[in-house]
């Protein structure tokens, strides 16, 4: 299984985690509780205040009722006594005083009653007060009658009336008032007990809601804890795992490598670090699309995982880069056995997007403790070794050597120098002749870039072309070289060699750049070179990247009057079947097929099919890399009309081409007397 769970993370790595789930949960729970408690307390306090207000109001009303009722009772009683005394006294002054008091008592009674009526009264209190009113309205005329009798000096009759009617009547009024007082007390009791109940209720609610707040807080904390743990786990997984393959990513890998080193130090064993990079992966991506590229990466990941033990590590560092770590090793040869297995596993055919695909990888190896005692150095050195493996021809491995670092530094320096090379006119063109076997004359020259480095001398494109492509400088460089080549060839034309053609290489980046066609037009216009004398060399990879778009663009180029060739044919992913779709004029047979042509019947057969198909498709052919007369002889026999290679001439500066323009190669070929019948047609 590819997945490596977070359980493999060391404590050191856990240290750099963000606040853990339980801390977040605790905080969330605490905040929720705090908010709820503040809310509950505010509501509770308000309820308590309302209940207390109610209680105060009840007490206040009751006290006022009681005072007023007492006032009424006192005045009613006093009035009874006053009226009795009035009936008994004969002294006019005392009588006058008593009459005043009688009247004062009446007023005080009436005022108290009036005030009582304004207070909140229960129905029964209302009823009792109405009854008292009715009784008073009966008692009052009797009392007035008594006063009239007194004023008329009928004291005996007055006294009699007082005793028989006024006092009993007034007693009834007082009795009604006593009932009213009792009733008021009862009402007050009920109201106060209700207010007290409200109070108790408010307190109970407060307790209940506080409990609920506590519960909700715990609930929120649990929920947040579960959620945060899940988010944490997911984040941890994403931060340590490569999403495409499920392999550990660089961070987890470095951590696990460090653990391996600690173990190796303890057990005195070796650790092998293998830096793996797929060869020409970009080509798969460009040709078959990113989905296929991703599938290939996943397949490679599975195969690498399958070649090592469960306790060893495979990680993806990004793109097409993997790294494998094997521990508990006692001899380097054991590491190399594993590497051989990995090379074979990656090189086995793949079934992707319903087609069979081949891939390979380059592996750089560093070994603990020889090539470094820490993870950073070991990885860096394995990377450096991988770079050398790649340069050494791909599909191979390379053990790290300390001298490699010096080379890496040199490359870095070269990259910096290259940055200034174009501005300083250090990028120059050499030209390599293509000779017609039939005439023995120079048919065309191919322009090949060289870097005239101020310290290192003349450098071949193998050293710097990739750098130019990586940085995108190739577009500007290519445009300038095209102008130089056209200008140079126009000069040869002006010197009378009007048949001469110039072939210029165009890389994929240059081809797809929107400035290509305007660049060709400018180069032709500025130099005055006839378009038919210019040939652009493309690689088959360009067509495979996007066949339709490439065909359209080539047709646009051809509309300018120039010719187009396919360079290094047979080395890419295309097949002979694709050839009929390429709207080209010339097909250059790669030197790989030419190399063994005199010994290898397979190469002979291949060249024969290429030539035959080219003939049917009306394409011209040029054989590259002809180094010997024997090769040339074979190609001649097979019917290849034009050759290019060291046997004719190496790429040389323009001045040397001038002297070759009139050169006749036929004697050198010793072919003058037996020309192949097919060649005469060209
Ligand atoms: P290419 O276009 O296939 O060029 C032929 C290469 O084979 C040249 O290498 C040439 O020197 C070499 N060669 C020619 N005859 C022989 C032979 O008989 N034997 C052997 N072993 N090699 C032979 P060079 O000049 O190093 O160029 C390498 C590649 O760099 C070229 O391959 C071409 O793809 C690219 N290149 C060169 N100049 C330019 C340029 O100006 N622009 C672009 N985009 N690419 C260029
Ligand atoms: Mg070429
Ligand atoms: Mg070539």
The reported pLDDT for the residue numbered 574 is 61
Measure CA 250 to chain center.
17
Ligand 1 pocket, residue 507 CB under 6 Å? yes
What are the structural domains of the chain?
Answer: 21-220 (1.20.120.1730), 250-401 (3.30.70.270), 413-667 (3.20.20.450)
The Cα–Cα gap between 569 and 607 comes to 11
The Cα–Cα gap between 634 and 598 comes to 6
454 alpha carbon – ligand 1 mean position (Å): 22
The Cα–Cα gap between 389 and 411 comes to 15
567 alpha carbon – ligand 1 mean position (Å): 10
Ligand 1 atom at shortest distance from the alpha carbon of 626: 18
Q: For residue range 494-529, what is the model confidence (pLDDT) as tens digits?
A: 999 999 999 999 999 999 999 999 999 999 999 999
Q: Which residues does the chain have with pLDDT short of 50?
A: 1-8, 11-12, 14-17, 672-682
Whose alpha carbon is nearest atom 17 of ligand 1?
625
| Cα dihedral 44, 50, 52, 55 sign | negative
Whose alpha carbon is nearest atom 46 of ligand 1?
505
**pTM, 2 dp:** 0.56
Q: Is 260 exposed, middle or buried (0-12, 13-18, 19+ CB in 10 A)?
A: buried
The Cα–Cα gap between 507 and 282 comes to 14
Angle at 434 between CA 431 and CA 436, to 5 degrees: 155
Whose alpha carbon is nearest atom 13 of ligand 1?
625
The reported pLDDT for the residue numbered 408 is 78
The reported pLDDT for the residue numbered 674 is 47
The reported pLDDT for the residue numbered 251 is 87
625 alpha carbon – ligand 2 mean position (Å): 11
Mutate to test the pocket of ligand 1, among 461, 480, 572, 631 (most ligand atoms within 8 A of CB): 461
Helices (DSSP H) in 393-432: which residue ranges?
Answer: 403-421
The reported pLDDT for the residue numbered 391 is 82
Whose alpha carbon is nearest atom 43 of ligand 1?
505
Whose alpha carbon is nearest atom 7 of ligand 1?
625
588 alpha carbon – ligand 1 mean position (Å): 12
513 alpha carbon – ligand 1 mean position (Å): 22
C-alpha distances in angstroms, 595 versus 445, 571, 589, 637?
21, 14, 11, 16
Ligand 1 pocket, residue 460 CB under 6 Å? yes
Percent of the chain with pLDDT over 90: 52
Residues with CB under 5 A from ligand 2 (ion): 505, 537, 567
Proximal ligand: closest to the CA of 458:
1
- 3-state class of 675 per DSSP? coil
């Amino acid at each position: 299984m590819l997945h490596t769970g977070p359980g493999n993370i060391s404590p050191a790595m856990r240290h750099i985690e963000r606040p853990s789930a339980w801390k977040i949960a605790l905080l969330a729970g605490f905040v929720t509780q705090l908010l709820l408690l503040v809310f509950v307390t505010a509501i509770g306090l308000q309820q308590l205040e309302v209940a207390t207000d109610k209680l105060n109001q009840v007490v206040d009303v009751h006290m006022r009722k009681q005072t007023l009722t007492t006032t009424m009772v006192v005045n009613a009683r006093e009035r009874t006594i006053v009226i009795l005394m009035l009936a008994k006294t004969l002294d006019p002054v005392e009588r006058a005083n008593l009459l005043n008091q009688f009247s004062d008592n009446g007023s005080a009674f009436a005022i108290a009653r009036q005030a009582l009526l304004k207070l909140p009264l229960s129905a029964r209190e209302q009823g009792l007060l109405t009854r008292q009113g009715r009784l008073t309205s009966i008692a009052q005329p009797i009392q007035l009658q008594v006063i009239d009798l007194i004023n008329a000096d009928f004291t005996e009759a007055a006294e009699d009336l007082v005793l028989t009617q006024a006092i009993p009547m007034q007693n009834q009024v007082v009795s009604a008032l006593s009932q009213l007082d009792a009733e008021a007390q009862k009402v007050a009791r009920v109201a106060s007990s209700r207010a007290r109940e409200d109070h108790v209720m408010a307190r109970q609610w407060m307790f209940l809601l506080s409990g609920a707040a506590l519960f909700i807080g715990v609930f929120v904390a649990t929920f947040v804890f579960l959620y945060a743990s899940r988010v944490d786990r997911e984040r941890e997984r994403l931060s340590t795992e490569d999403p495409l393959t499920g392999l550990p990513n660089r961070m987890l890998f470095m951590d696990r490598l460090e653990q391996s080193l600690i173990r190796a130090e303890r057990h005195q064993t070796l650790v092998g670090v293998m830096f793996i990079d797929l060869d020409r992966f970009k080509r798969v991506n460009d040709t078959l699309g990113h989905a296929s590229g991703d599938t290939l990466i996943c397949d490679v990941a599975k195969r690498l995982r399958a070649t090592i033990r469960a306790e060893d590590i495979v990680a993806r560092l990004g793109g097409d880069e993997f790294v494998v770590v094997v521990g508990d090793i006692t001899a380097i040869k054991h590491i190399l056995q594993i590497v051989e297995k990995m090379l074979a596993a990656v090189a086995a055919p793949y079934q992707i997007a319903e087609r069979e695909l081949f891939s390979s990888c380059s592996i750089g190896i560093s070994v603990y403790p020889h090539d470094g005692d820490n993870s950073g150095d070991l990885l860096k050195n394995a990377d450096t070794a991988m770079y050398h493996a790649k340069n050494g021809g791909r599909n191979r491995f390379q053990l790290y050597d300390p001298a490699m670092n010096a080379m890496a530094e040199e490359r870095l320096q070269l990259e910096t120098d290259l940055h200034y090379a174009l501005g300083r006119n250090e990028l120059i063109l050499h030209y390599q002749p293509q000779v017609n076997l039939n005439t023995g004359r120079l048919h065309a020259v191919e322009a090949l870039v060289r870097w005239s480095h101020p310290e290192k001398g003349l450098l071949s494109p193998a050293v710097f072309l990739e750098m130019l492509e990586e940085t995108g400088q190739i577009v500007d460089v290519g445009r300038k070289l095209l102008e130089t080549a056209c200008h140079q060839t126009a000069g040869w034309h002006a010197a009378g060699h009007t048949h001469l053609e110039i072939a210029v290489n165009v890389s994929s980046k240059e081809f797809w750049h929107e400035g290509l066609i305007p660049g060709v037009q400018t180069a032709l216009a500025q130099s005055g070179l006839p378009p038919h004398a210019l040939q652009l060399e493309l690689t088959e990879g360009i067509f495979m990247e996007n066949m339709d778009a490439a065909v359209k663009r080539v047709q646009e180029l051809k509309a300018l009057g120039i010719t187009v060739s396919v360079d290094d044919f047979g080395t890419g992913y295309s097949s002979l079947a694709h050839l009929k779709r390429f709207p080209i004029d010339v097909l250059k047979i790669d030197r790989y097929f030419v190399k063994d042509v005199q010994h290898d019947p397979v190469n002979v057969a291949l060249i024969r099919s290429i030539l035959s198909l080219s003939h049917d498709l009306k394409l011209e052919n040029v054989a590259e890399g002809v180094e010997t007369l024997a090769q040339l002889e074979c190609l001649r026999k097979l019917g290849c009309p034009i050759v290019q290679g060291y046997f004719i001439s190496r790429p040389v500066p323009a001045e040397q081409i001038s002297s070759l323009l009139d050169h006749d190669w036929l004697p050198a070929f010793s072919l003058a007397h037996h020309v192949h019948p097919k060649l005469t047609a060209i």
